[in-house]
Every structure is written in C-alpha cells, then in structure tokens.
Amino acid sequence: MTTPAPPGPPRPTSRDVARAAGVSQATVSLVLGDKWRGRVSEATAGRVREAARGLGYRPNLAARNLRLGRTRTALLVVPALTNEFFARVYTGAAAVAAAHEFGVVLYPSPDGIGPARDPFASARAALDGVIASSMAADALGALHGAGLPLVMLDSDPAAPGPAARVNLDIADGMRQVMDHLLGLGHRRFVHLASAVGSWTFAVRARALHEAVRAVPGAEVVTVPAALDVRAGRRAAEEALAGPGPRPTALVCDDDILAAGACKAVRRLGLRVPDDLSVTGFDDLALATAVEPELTTVRLPAEEVGERGMRALLAVLDGRPAETGGLPVRLVVRGSSAAPPARPTA
C-alpha cells in the first residue's frame, strides 16, 4: 500500500504578501495587477514585488480572469509569416505579453502578402483585444461589432477606428534614402513600387516623389511589382529596357524587391553600384546576404511589436497608450554609389 505524500507548505496568499510588505491587500492587488502608477509610490510597489518574490507568491490567474471577464489573450494579425519583419513583430509582442502573463495568438493571412481575412467569427469570444498590421475593411467591421479593443500597426493616422496606433516614421525613411542618393548626384530614378495597396507603401511613394520634385532636373518612373524576388527582377528588367536614358538608381519599396532588382542588373550585364545603385527598405537578413550588400532602411520590427502589446495593455487598463512614430534609420552599404561619370543610354 502506497503511503500518501505529506502535504506541502500552504501556498502563500495576497494577505501574506500584504503582511510581509506592511501594506493593505488592496495595495498588493494594485501593484501585482500593474495598476499602481499614480496610486502607489515607486518604493511601495518595489516593496510589494520583493515580498511576493520572497514568498514565492503566484496570483490565482484563473480566479482573477473570471472576475475580470478576461482571457488574457491577444490576437496578432499579420499579412504573412514568410516575411521576416512580421516574425520579428511577433517576437516583440510576445515578449511584452509574457511579462504581463498574456498569451498571443498569431493569425496570418491565408493568402500570404495582403490583407488578412476576418479571423473574428470563431475567435472573438476568446480574445481580450487585437493588434493588427493589415486588415480588410470587413474584418474591421466585424471587430467593431464585437467590441474588441484594436491596436493598429503601421496604418493611416487619419483613418477612424482603432483604440491606439503604433506607427513607424516611414516617410522619413524614404526621405533619408533620397537625400543619400541625391547627395551622391543621382537624378534619374526608377521607383520599384510594391503592388500591395496599403498606407505604408503609399507613404513611401509620396515621400519619394516629393524629394524628386524638390530637385531641378530630377525625375522618377514608377514600376509596380508583386512582393517577391522574381517579380522584382522582371519589373526592373522592364524599367531598364525602356526607351530614353537609363536610370542611375533603382529605389525599391523593400529588400525583397531590391534583391530582384540586383538580379536584373546582373542579367543585363551591368554592375551594382558601378552602373546602377539599388536601395531597399526594411533591413531584412536578405540585405546582407546579397552582394554587394544593400543600402536600406532599418525598421525596428521588434519594438513595433513591443509597443503594440503595451498599447493594448494600456487600453485594457484604461490608460493612455504611448504615442509618436518610431524612428527609422538609413544603413548605407555597398549597393549605392555616385552615378557613372558618363551614363549610357
């Protein structure tokens, strides 16, 4: 006959934490529920956390969630998992979520790059809120009907709807690209533009054209392409085979298109950057896998996910979310240089 194991020590309670920290149970709830700012001093909050750690206290999440009517689960909607940028966004969001004992469910579009379909019909009852980087209008309508808080990433600030937004300073990124190329002496550009209709790509196009208009003698031709290397190569070949003087710089909406553009240049017997400069956007791992390495704009993808999750937590707690665009930075590498002294036609 097996002898039952002796019972372990009793599990510490919030009352034990309050007693150890010399505060009330209400204060313990505020601090461990991350709602203490403006109500409890930093020193008191630190004392409560230290007491909880020392006692090995763990809150009863099931009871708390039942009381609050929450599942502590967020949905992250991204256009595609095959894109490294969105994988890094998820990494950042999941790290902040884990620190606050939240889970993140990832929903990629079934169609890959492009707006995600409505994921809410079966999932809305199990969610506390949604963070979305791209979404179809009908999905937004379904979300509004469900009353779920929405945080939009990299989206039009003028569009109504979300409870909070997290944006990158995309326009400044393209301005940095054009300042770099114009400063090198380039005046004839091809814009290899994403064929995906979204705010972020519209902003890139607008900033590029504004930069060209500001410089006498500068000109740009826009060529759309799907977001893959093969489409980028075909679009670049088409642009370079067109009539008139050849452009001296290919400005690409992302690094994937830029990789295709580099292939097109080589296939035509030309060299990057001696005959043509090529720039990308995003600073994916691909940017340093090609030769020469890409001049591109670095986007803080993980920080986008982190701030998106913090914004959702703030909305759920009734606090204002952090505002202001995240800065981006041009990284100059070997794919850009001054135009050839005597450009050929």
Per-residue pLDDT of the chain (345 residues; tens, 9 = 90+): 455 545 556 777 878 888 998 998 888 877 877 677 778 888 898 898 888 888 887 665 444 443 444 678 888 888 777 778 989 999 999 999 888 888 888 877 655 455 555 555 555 557 788 888 865 444 555 555 567 788 989 888 888 778 899 999 999 999 999 999 999 999 999 999 998 888 899 999 999 999 999 999 999 999 999 989 999 999 999 999 877 889 999 999 999 999 999 999 999 999 999 999 999 999 999 999 999 999 999 999 999 999 999 999 999 888 888 888 899 999 999 999 999 986 454
**Residues 128 and 286: beta-carbon distance below 8 Å:** no
**Block residue for tokens 């196009």:** 205
Domain with CATH 3.40.50.2300 in the chain: 69-167+301-326, 170-298
Q: How far apart are CA 269 and CA 256, in angstroms?
A: 21
In terms of C-beta density within 10 A (0-12 exposed, 13-18 middle, 19 or more buried), how is residue 208 classed? buried
Q: In angstroms, what CA-CA distances link 260 with 240, 242, 257, 265?
A: 13, 17, 5, 9
End-to-end CA distance of the chain: 94
Give start and end residues of each alpha helix (H) in the chain: 14-21, 25-32, 42-55, 61-68, 84-99, 120-123, 137-146, 170-184, 199-213, 229-240, 255-267, 301-317
Is the pTM for the entire model greater than 0.85?
no
Q: Tell me which CATH code domain 170-298 carries.
A: 3.40.50.2300
Q: In angstroms, what CA-CA distances link 99 with 92, 183, 337?
A: 11, 45, 45
SS3 (DSSP) at 232: helix
Query: What is 14-59's CATH superfamily?
Result: lambda repressor-like DNA-binding domains (1.10.260.40)
The CATH T-level fold of domain 69-167+301-326 is Rossmann fold (3.40.50)
Q: How far apart are CA 31 and CA 25, in angstroms?
A: 10
Q: Is the peptide bond before 292 cis (omega within 30 degrees of 0)?
A: yes
Q: In angstroms, what CA-CA distances link 78 with 47, 107, 212, 232?
A: 40, 6, 32, 22
CB contact set of 243 (below 8 Å; sequence gap of 6+):
none
